[in-house]
Structure 1
């Protein structure tokens, strides 16, 4: 379980970058609008969401013993990922802007 806490810091940093966060929100809004306005696609999307949720749940549950053994290596990868993010954020300041403000 500690894997998710350590790996989450790099993942959380990436998903909280304003550029990526706003781009995700735009795509999410378009997806939700499509589901709401096209009944046939809504059914297909709902089935796909259910299948994806079950698949992810199965993979995470089955992989937990392996993840526990790899915890030190995963923490090291997370540390390097965070250092890489530090450099990216320093060299690419537009990552701190929402998608609609990047030119």
Structure 2
């Protein structure tokens, strides 16, 4: 593979942060799993990817996700990856442990 191809791939890279699904309310978590969020999202078996954009392309109707979009835009994050095994960040609201949900 040429260095030009590698350079181009780096130019196309978009910042992503992996967060615990605990940062989503149970209702938002459910909407993500059902692919029913108010913004572009791609559910996975253990969470999902949510597109923020740069600048953010929309403001989610879900209040918890709207707050995360605001923080992400300020941090230069383009994608959010939510996963049950993802990191929790002190200072960002956490809801009940997603592994303990009924």
Q: TM-score, normalised by structure 1?
A: 0.23
